[in-house]
Structures are given as structure tokens and as C-alpha cells.
């Protein structure tokens, strides 16, 4: 019976020790277990938790547009005055995003098209779509700039055609026409006379022409099911694995996300990448600072590095974005003419933020840039890689070249002419997503501490209990041993010593 009792106590000691060891192991492995579970839940799969948020994001992004209205067009052309610009806006459009024609592929990717619907919201806007603005005639100035190195007789012929069609360097159009399209006589002429293989894919001009409720592009991204580090990253765009515009694979790569999701487990050293066909490149984003989003969810703010649009002189690797060779784009600008049908379009950040100050000083009416108002940034929840807040800010400019043989623009100097800037805004996620993100941030540490602590506490209690029982058992055993009857041949001495009868 005593031996049975000892076996039970030893078993209790073993269980207590095992629980303590298990708690220690769990303390080390718990974060990995949580990451494994989150990664499985995060992967895009039909019927999965992430799928409905990805397919039709429950946010209402705003597109806020600011237009530079030219108030002294005649004085600029005839008297050589600096262009005087009046910044109008914002003109606000609410957006609805939906992914359609979704098809899951065998290689861990999913293909889809994006349908974006824009609805003008007059109550949030500082004007009406019917507001008239005077802006550079982009089709005309693009054509004249492209003809700078053509034969002289072609330039003279172009001047005659523009005379006949009464085409001028500036046009007065409504905001709606400027953004969504109006008939342009030069484009109309090109449609009739240009060979079919060289024709533009549109017969109207608008800065956002063909973007409302259309789905021209096919995207293929990694679902994260096979490799979570590629979650949301682009695999193919219209069947291609590169843009086909730039001179190195790194610059030509489309390996980025759409800016709404990123691979999880982001650190401050991570470089996020966003691909947008209108940017004509993948834009890198680097850590800027810690932020707290709506609902108290902590995150990181990421922005493009300050040299993202720098010149080749300052950063030799930028040479890949200048395939025609110098002269390349001015400091702080990015030439997207390669993917804009050779129109001399330069992108910058609003108000020429991070660009050569001389570009802003060439015009009047544009205030000095401020990072808080004109910087592009995305706030990301680092555990999940979810974008919580964003301001995608870009300014569209036209690089106009002086062409003396075309009288309509003979007095037009070489200038980077700002046309408009916009910001795609997401202020906060819906409450359902905020609650989920808050749970992901707060629950694992609490569960980690609770489970590990509980196992360790139970193990210690069991172990202590077992040791106490063993100690009491040992004490009782000793008492029983001392009080047991002496053997028949044992005698007691006067000194209290026990003689077992073996001495002579």
C-alpha cells in the first residue's frame, strides 16, 4: 500500500513537471501558432473569412480632385507672363469597388477584373461638375511637343490643320468634361486619318476617360494559400509578368499589391510595394511613424521614400526609367509618357512636393507644399497587413515644349504645366473590420499570457502538492519505523543505544 501511495505521488510530480515544461514550450511557440492560424484565415479562398472583404470592400473611398484653372491664358501666350493658376476643388466622387469575373487558379493565384464606380457628391464638393475651367489643351500640346523633332513640313502642316480646326493651346470646358471626356477635334481627325494600328483607343479626351464602371484590365494575384509572404502580390497583369516599358526587370516589375492589402507580419524594416498601371510602375513605401487608427488599432504609416522620383544624377538606378536617354525627367517628377501613348505627361506629388522648387516657381497661385497635405501615405495594421487609412496623392502635369514652326504655340515656353491633382481617400474601416483587427491585436497576447500562465500555475500547484504529500508520507514512514517492535535478539543499553545482538 505504501508503494502504491509513492507511485501516485511520483505520478503527480511528473504531471506537474510536465505542465510546467508545456507552459514554457507554449510560451515560446504560441506566437508561431497564432501566426499559423491567422495565415490560414487570411488566405483568399472562396467562402473564407477574407474573401467577402476582398471581393467587395466594405469601405466608401473618396476621390477628391483639385483642378488648376488658368486665369491669364492670353497674357501668358501674348505677353510672356507666368501662368496664373487658381486651385479649384475639391470635386468629390464617392467610389464603389467590386471584383468581378473571379477565377481561382491551380498555382495559388486568383484572376479578376476590378469594377470601380464613381458618383459625384455635391454636398462634399466645393463646386459643381458644371463649373467652367480653363486648362491646357492636352491633345494639342501633346501633338505639338511630339512633333518637335519631326520634319519641318510636318510641323507647318500641323499648324495649318490647327488653323482650319480653330484649335487653341487652352480650352474652356466643364469639370465633368475635363474629367470624364469631351470631343476633341484633333482626336476626331486622328481617328479618321491615322492608320488603324496606330490609332488611339479612344476618340474623346478626359483625364479619367474610360475609368467609370469599366473593367479593361485583368489582374492575377497570389492568394497566400501556398506562400503567405506573397499574399495580395501581383503575378500577372493582362497576362504579362512585367510592364514592358522599362530597361531593367526590377523597374519593370509589377510585383506589388493594389494598396488595400499587403503580406502580413510587417515590420518597420519592411518595404511595401504598390502597383498601379496609371503610375506606370511599382511604388515602394517605407516606414515613417507609428499611428493609432480609428477604434484604437495601432499601425505603421508608410510613405514613398523622399528620393522615389529623384533624377538619375542623384540616384543612378533611376536610369532604368529613362529609356530614351538624357535629358530625363526633372528632379522630383516621373515621366509616364511610355504608358500614355507618348503624351508628355509627368507625375509629381501635389504642389510639386519633393520636386525642384523651380517647377512651382514657374507659375503663380500654387502655395508651398506641406507634407501633411501633399504627401502620399498608407496606414497599415502590421499583423494582418490590412490598410486602415490612406491618402494616395498624385499631381498630373504636362511637359510642354516650345515649337516655333507651329504659330499657335510659338510663344509657349518649355514648361511643366500643372493640370490637376487628386487624392484617393480612405478615412477608416467599417466597425466590423475595426473590431476584427482590434481582436487580432489584443487577443493573442492575453490568450498567450492566460494559457501559458494557467498551465504553469496548475503545474506548480500540482508539483508543490505532490512534494508536500511526499514529505508527509516520508515523515509518517519514519514514525512508523521508530515505533515498530524490536527484533527478538535486540537489547537496549543504559545509554539508549540499540543493540541488535550482533556484538560479541
Query: Of 378, 398, 429, which one is at a domain's C-terminal end?
Result: 429
| Domain co-membership, 87 together with 34 | no
Question: Residue 345: which domain range?
Answer: 59-429
Q: How far apart are CA 289 and CA 421, in angstroms?
A: 25
**How many angstroms separate the most distant Cα atoms in the chain?**
145
> CB–CB of 245/280 below 8 Å?
yes
| Domain co-membership, 303 together with 192 | yes
| Domain co-membership, 406 together with 479 | no
| Domain co-membership, 460 together with 376 | no
| Domain co-membership, 340 together with 452 | no
In a domain, 330, yes or no: yes
| Domain co-membership, 248 together with 378 | yes
| Count of the separate structural domains present in the chain | 2
| Domain co-membership, 8 together with 157 | no
Provide the residue-wise pLDDT of the chain in tens; the chain has 504 residues: 444 545 655 665 566 556 556 555 555 555 666 667 778 888 999 888 789 889 998 899 999 999 999 999 999 998 989 999 999 999 999 999 999 999 999 999 999 999 999 999 999 999 999 999 999 999 989 888 888 777 777 778 888 888 888 889 999 999 999 999 999 888 877 766 665 555 566 778 999 998 998 888 999 999 999 999 999 999 999 999 999 999 899 999 999 999 999 999 999 999 999 999 989 999 999 999 999 988 889 999 999 999 999 988 889 889 999 887 777 899 999 999 888 878 899 999 999 999 999 999 999 999 999 999 999 999 999 998 999 999 999 999 999 988 888 888 888 888 999 999 999 999 988 888 877 777 766 655 545 455 555 555 555 565 555 556 656 656 666 665 555 555 555 444 444 443 434 443
| Domain co-membership, 112 together with 212 | yes
All three cell numbers of 443: 487577443
Query: Of 374, 396, 429, which one is at a domain's C-terminal end?
Result: 429
| Domain co-membership, 73 together with 121 | yes
Query: Of 375, 396, 429, which one is at a domain's C-terminal end?
Result: 429
In a domain, 436, yes or no: no
| Domain co-membership, 218 together with 316 | yes
Mapping DSSP onto H, E and C, the string for 338-395 reads HHCCCCCEEEEEHHHECCCHHHHHCCECCCCCCHHHHCCEEEEECCCCEEEEEEEEEE
| Domain co-membership, 425 together with 460 | no
Q: What is the pTM of this model?
A: 0.84
Amino acid at each position: 500500500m505504501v508503494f502504491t501511495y509513492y507511485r501516485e505521488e511520483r505520478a503527480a510530480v511528473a504531471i506537474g513537471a510536465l505542465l510546467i515544461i508545456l507552459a514554457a514550450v507554449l510560451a515560446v511557440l504560441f506566437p508561431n501558432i497564432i501566426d499559423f492560424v491567422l495565415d490560414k484565415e487570411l488566405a483568399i479562398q472562396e467562402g473564407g473569412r477574407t474573401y467577402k472583404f476582398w471581393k467587395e470592400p466594405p469601405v466608401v473611398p473618396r476621390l477628391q480632385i483639385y483642378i488648376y484653372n488658368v486665369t491669364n491664358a492670353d497674357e501668358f501666350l501674348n505677353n510672356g507672363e507666368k501662368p496664373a493658376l487658381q486651385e479649384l476643388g475639391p470635386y468629390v466622387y464617392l467610389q464603389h469597388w467590386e471584383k468581378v469575373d473571379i477565377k481561382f487558379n491551380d498555382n495559388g493565384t486568383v484572376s479578376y477584373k476590378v469594377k470601380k464606380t464613381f458618383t459625384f457628391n455635391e454636398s462634399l464638393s466645393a463646386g459643381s461638375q458644371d463649373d467652367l475651367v480653363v486648362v491646357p489643351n492636352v491633345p494639342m500640346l501633346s501633338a505639338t511637343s511630339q512633333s518637335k523633332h519631326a520634319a519641318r513640313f510636318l510641323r507647318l502642316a500641323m499648324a495649318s490643320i490647327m488653323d482650319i480646326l480653330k484649335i487653341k493651346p487652352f480650352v474652356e470646358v466643364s469639370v465633368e468634361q475635363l474629367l470624364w471626356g469631351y470631343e476633341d477635334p484633333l482626336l476626331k481627325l486622328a481617328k479618321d486619318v491615322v492608320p488603324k494600328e496606330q490609332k488611339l483607343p479612344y476618340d474623346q479626351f478626359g483625364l479619367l476617360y474610360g475609368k467609370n464602371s469599366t473593367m479593361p484590365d485583368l489582374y492575377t494575384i497570389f492568394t497566400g494559400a501556398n506562400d503567405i509572404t506573397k499574399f495580395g502580390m501581383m503575378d500577372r497583369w493582362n497576362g504579362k509578368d512585367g510592364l514592358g516599358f522599362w530597361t531593367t526587370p526590377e523597374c519593370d516589375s509589377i510585383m506589388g499589391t493594389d494598396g488595400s492589402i499587403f503580406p502580413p507580419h510587417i515590420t518597420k524594416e519592411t518595404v511595401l510595394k504598390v502597383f498601379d498601371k496609371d503610375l506606370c510602375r511599382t511604388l515602394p513605401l517605407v516606414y515613417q511613424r507609428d499611428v493609432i487608427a480609428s477604434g484604437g488599432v495601432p499601425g505603421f504609416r508608410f510613405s514613398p521614400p523622399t528620393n522615389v522620383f529623384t533624377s538619375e544624377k542623384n540616384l543612378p538606378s533611376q536610369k532604368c526609367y529613362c529609356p530614351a536617354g538624357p535629358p530625363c525627367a526633372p528632379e522630383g517628377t516621373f515621366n509616364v509618357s511610355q504608358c500614355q501613348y507618348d503624351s508628355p505627361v509627368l507625375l509629381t506629388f501635389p504642389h510639386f512636393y519633393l520636386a525642384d522648387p523651380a517647377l512651382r516657381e514657374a507659375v503663380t497661385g500654387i502655395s508651398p507644399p506641406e507634407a501633411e497635405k501633399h504627401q502620399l501615405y498608407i496606414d497599415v495594421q502590421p499583423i494582418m497587413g490590412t490598410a486602415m487609412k490612406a491618402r494616395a496623392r498624385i499631381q498630373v502635369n504636362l511637359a510642354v515644349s516650345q515649337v516655333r514652326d507651329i504659330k499657335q504655340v510659338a510663344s509657349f515656353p518649355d514648361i511643366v504645366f500643372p493640370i490637376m491633382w487628386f487624392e484617393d481617400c480612405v478615412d477608416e474601416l467599417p466597425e466590423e473590420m475595426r473590431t476584427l483587427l482590434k481582436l487580432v491585436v489584443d487577443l493573442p497576447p492575453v490568450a498567450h499570457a492566460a494559457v501559458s500562465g494557467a498551465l504553469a500555475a496548475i503545474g506548480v500547484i500540482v508539483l508543490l502538492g505532490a512534494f508536500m504529500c511526499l514529505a508527509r508520507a516520508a515523515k509518517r514512514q519514519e514514525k512508523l519505523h521508530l515505533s515498530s517492535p524490536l527484533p527478538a535478539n535486540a537489547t537496549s543499553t543504559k545509554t539508549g543505544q540499540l543493540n541488535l545482538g550482533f556484538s560479541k
